[in-house]
Chain A
Amino acid sequence: MKFIDPHIHMTSRTTNDYESMSKAGIVAIIEPAFWLGQPRTEVGSFKDYFSSIVGWEAFRASQFGIKHYCTIGLNSKEANNESLAEEVMELLPLFALKNNVVAIGEIGYDDQTAAEDKYFRAQIELAKELDLPILVHTPHRDKKRGTLRSMDVLEEHDIDPSTVIIDHNNEETVESVLERGYWTAFTIYPNTKMGSERMVAVVKKYGSNKIFINSSADWGVSDPLSVPKTAHLMLDKGISNEIVQIVCYQNALEAYAQSGNMKESDWSDGVHFDQSILYGGNSVLRGQPPKKSDDSKIIEN
């Protein structure tokens, strides 16, 4: 079975992760622009970060046969540094038009401050102008109110819900997000957010329409194999192959294909930059022979 992990921060992950992700069947990933675990203090740090997710990281992923995309945006936490935020806003259009960018994101609310609101709205307008989907990060704290407010604001700006992915949903938010026609994404996290078991129950209850899952693996305790592991758990619990494929691959593809920059043919015949595989000397592989993928099952849940 093939998988897409539509939310994962690979700049924080190792080549071991890439290897096991590829082995587990992940063929494409999306790396949303986010913060680095601590706030940046210079606009140049943003520039180099954006540059790495539109360039170097895509190359690194390709060496493991994985197609890499990203989203570009000013995250809600760092939107609170207003003078820096202004400078970042000027950078965004330059990066948002790149060939592997599939949305403006992840944007939205953290503490739901006035500054967060201001840059959320400005970036919604940017997405409109550039005709890109939007990836909305919903807050960890006061989640339900933050989620509803995000959708209200999007609608104030006349955004079509079918071009928006509302992320990090849980049992409390899923119904209203689905009802209002948004793509409804769930993050499977070992400790916070959703667990795999809970996700199985959500899919059993709400089906596969507009729902998809991701790992949001980053620099914290998280699991880059969340998507394939949850998929296998769904299968074990009697959810059909077809539904699992929709929730773990097809819906993410459909949502982000609206950018015009993501299509199945990007990976179905192999990933473009993989010509580098044999040139071990200066590549990420550092002289290792390329590993052949095999079909042996992934590590258990």
Chain B
Amino acid sequence: MFKNKFVSLSELIKEYCLNEIQNKNTKRWLDQKLRSIKSAQDFFISFALINKKIPRDHLQLSLAQIKTVHLTHAEFNIENWTLDQLCRLSLLMYYPLLTVQNITKLISVADNLEQITIFKSIPYLKNADQYAHIVVNGLRTNIVDVFDAIALKNSYPAKHFSQDQWNQMVLKAIFMERPIYQIKDIDERKNEKLAHILFNYALERWAASRRVTPELWRMIRGYLTEAQFFEMKKQMVEPIKSHQKAMLKLIQESNLNVAQQWLNMQSIQLENISWDQIGSDFLNKNQVLKNLSKT
């Protein structure tokens, strides 16, 4: 399939969708809708009908097929998409009348699964740069899965958000204890303003005897001030517990003399642990707690 010629992402996805649909009538229906959607109402109904017509299964892809997609379209992780999501992405890609207004309406009548799919899809649409304020509005949701669809594993925010929009997203992600190591370009878009906001957030949480996610310290890296170091030091009580590993890492990686001197005086074994590892450890620990609370 697709040897020796460049295939656009939309063609590729269409091909994969049609190949995966077992039911002949459904296949014909989707093929026809991708060729000619007659009106906005037709588009909205077709988009909604995916729920009835297409199973929510992962695609049956061979490793070779996944590699083919990665080779030609490195930015698209097809293994993260279910068949219904891919079919909806296809509809969005092939709908000739797609406008800011239409997407806004589509979102306003969407259920949670549809919203998740729309926000996952937006980075791959034509004129994606026009949709920034729609995506920023999407982040105002209280529904965790919709928030995740925008913030995590999605290239859109890093590419299209202003600094303030970016900072609001990361702050909210930290507030909701979402795994920020899954935010694309999380280190590349670090900034002093964000570091300052997050440090104040940590102070506020400490004042209320609440914890902060250890991933927060990743965002302070490169911006830690002496005054902030002294605040952190107050929280470091021996024996150093696992949630303080991230704070130690930040102190260790700072170039503050006072911080280095303090470290030298401690009898702490410094571990070589990556920020991504800190994030995924914390996520797994939360997952275990969640399962415990269920039983």
In the assembly, what is the distance between CA of A47 and CA of B144, in Å? 22
Give the docked Cα–Cα distance between A283 and B114 (Å).
Answer: 20
- With A275-B144, A281-B177, A290-B293 in contact, is A58–B108 under 8 Å at CB? no
Question: Which one of B4-12, B42-50, B215-223 is at the A interface?
Answer: B42-50
Which A residues between 276 and 296 are near B, CB-CB below 8 angstroms?
Answer: 276-279, 281-284, 287, 290, 292
The answer on a CB contact under 8 Å between A279 and B177 is yes
Q: Mark B17-61, 1 if CB is under 8 A from A, else 0.
A: 000000000000000000000000000110011011000000000
Contact yes or no, B109 A94, CB < 8 A: yes
Interface residues of A (CB under 8 A from B): 47, 50-51, 54-56, 58-59, 65, 91, 93-95, 97-100, 260-261, 270, 273-279, 281-284, 287, 290, 292
A292 CB contact (under 8 Å) in B289, B290, B293? B293
Closest residue of B by beta carbon distance from A65:
B294
Q: State the CA gap A93–B293 with chains docked (Å).
A: 39
A98–B111 touching, CB < 8 Å = yes
Contacts of B108 in A (CB 8 A): 47, 51
A94 CA / B115 CA spacing, docked (Å): 14
Residue B14 lies at the interface, judged by CB distance under 8 Å to chain A: no
Q: How many A-B residue pairs have CB under 8 A?
A: 84
User: Which residues on the B side are within 8 Å of A59 (C-beta)?
Assistant: 112, 142-144
**A221 CB, nearest partner CB in chain B, Å:** 29
Contact of A99 among B111, B177, B290 (CB under 8 A): B111
Given contacts A47-B108, A290-B293, contact A273 B176 (CB under 8 A): no
Quick check: is B190 within 8 A (CB to CB) of the other chain?
no
- Kindly identify which residue among B52, B115, B175, B289 contacts A282, using a CB–CB cutoff of 8 Å: B175
Cβ–Cβ contact A91 & B109, under 8 A: yes
- Of A51, A55, A56, A282, which is within 8 A of B176 by CB? A282
Q: Tell me the chain B residues, 120-176 only, with Cβ under 8 Å from chain A.
A: 142-145, 172, 175-176
The 3 closest A-B pairs by CB, nearest first: A97-B48, A98-B111, A276-B144
Q: Is the CB of A273 within 8 A of B111?
A: no
CB-defined contacts of A282 to chain B, threshold 8 Å: 142, 172, 175-176
Can you show 16 pairs from A to B with CB atoms below 8 A apart? A56-B143, A58-B111, A59-B112, A93-B48, A97-B52, A273-B143, A273-B144, A275-B145, A276-B145, A278-B177, A279-B144, A279-B176, A279-B178, A281-B175, A281-B176, A282-B176
Report yes or no: B177 in contact with A98, Cβ–Cβ below 8 A. Answer: no
* Extra inter-chain contacts (18) besides given A97-B45, A278-B290, CB under 8 Å: A55-B111, A55-B143, A58-B111, A59-B112, A65-B294, A91-B109, A94-B45, A94-B48, A97-B48, A99-B112, A100-B111, A260-B52, A261-B51, A273-B112, A274-B290, A277-B293, A282-B172, A283-B142
Q: How far is the CA of A202 from the CA of B110 in the complex (A)?
A: 41
Residues of A within 8 A of B112 (CB): 54-55, 58-59, 99, 273
Distance in angstroms between the alpha carbons of A300 and B110 in the assembled complex: 41
Question: Closest residue to A58 on the B side, CB-wise?
Answer: B112
Question: Does B113 lie at the interface of the complex (its beta carbon under 8 Å from any beta carbon of A)?
Answer: yes
Tell me the bound Cα distance from A270 to B290 in angstroms.
Answer: 11
**Does B286 touch A at the CB level, under 8 Å?**
yes
A274 to B144, CA, bound (A): 9
Closest chain A residue, CB of each to CB of B175: A281
A261 CA to B293 CA, complexed, in Å: 28
Residue of B with least CB distance to A98: B111
Q: In the bound complex, how far is the Cα of B53 from the Cα of A260, in angstroms?
A: 11
Q: Are A99 and B175 in contact (CB under 8 A)?
A: no
State the Cβ distance, A217 to closest chain B Cβ, in Å: 23
Q: How far is the CA of A175 from the CA of B6 in the complex (A)?
A: 68
- Complex Cα distance A298/B289, Å? 27
Do A277 and B177 form a contact, CB below 8 Å, given A55-B112, A100-B111?
no
Query: Quick check: B109 and A270 within 8 Å, CB to CB?
Result: no
**Which residues of B have CB within 8 Å of A97?**
45, 48-49, 51-52
- The residues of A that contact B289 with a CB separation of less than 8 Å are 278
Q: What does the 1/0 interface line of B224-247 toward A look like (CB < 8 Å)? A: 000000000000000000000000
- Nearest-Cβ distance from residue B283 to partner chain A, whole angstroms: 10
In the complex the two chains form, is A99's CB within 8 Å of B45's CB? no
Name the A residues within 8 Å of B294 (CB-CB).
Answer: 65, 270, 274
A279 and B202 CA atoms in complex are apart in Å by 16
A99 to B111, CA, bound (A): 7
Residues of B within 8 A of A54 (CB): 111-112
Contact code string B101-120 (vs A, CB < 8 Å = 1, else 0): 00000001111111100000
Q: By CB atoms of chain B within 10 A, which of A97, A279, A292 has the most?
A: A97
Contact status of A94 and B175, CB under 8 A, knowing A56-B142, A59-B142, A273-B143: no
Which of B113, B144, B175, B210 has most chain A Cβ within 10 Å?
Answer: B144
Rounded to whole Å, the gap between the CB of A146 and the closest CB of chain B is 32
